[in-house]
Amino acid sequence: MTTEARTYPVVEYLVDVFGDWLKHRRELRELRELDDASFSQIASDLRISTNDLAALVRQGPHSADELPRLLTALGIDQEKLARTEPLVLRDMERVCSLCGHKRQCDHDLAAGTSSAHFHQYCLNAATIDALGEAAGRKPAS
């Protein structure tokens, strides 16, 4: 007798989201348990301010998920950027993580209109333009 395995994608999705939330809560608790000196040392090691570190931790691990999608939409090779300009990419991830325009960015990415609109709200727009100019492309307007 064989048993048929049934999958429930919505339930699996909700379990994954809840698991991610629990993990994030644990990370926040661990962060709160650090003394100020340890927290400052971590921020210093990462070359960011303690305020930025606290904000990044609060945002969670998926806070910069839009950046790779935006770079792809704009024809920028993220893997090449990671090899040639790792600090630039890391700063772009930090900026993306702290961005307040996620909804607009997600909407434009889903609609395929990012290249026409990202200058209106993306705090990485100037960096993206500079990357395009360095690669010999005209900046988008």
Q: Are residues 69 and 45 in the same domain?
A: no
Q: Which residue carries 């570190």 as its tokens? A: 53
pLDDT in tens, 75-131: 999 999 999 999 999 899 989 998 999 999 999 999 999 999 999 999 999 999 998
Report yes or no on 1 lying in a domain. no
Distances (CA, A) of 83 to 19, 47, 64, 78, 86: 32, 19, 19, 9, 6
pLDDT in tens, 53-70: 887 777 777 788 999 999
Structural domain harbouring 77: 63-141
Domain ends where: 39, 61, 83?
A: 61
Q: Are residues 104 and 136 in the same domain?
A: yes
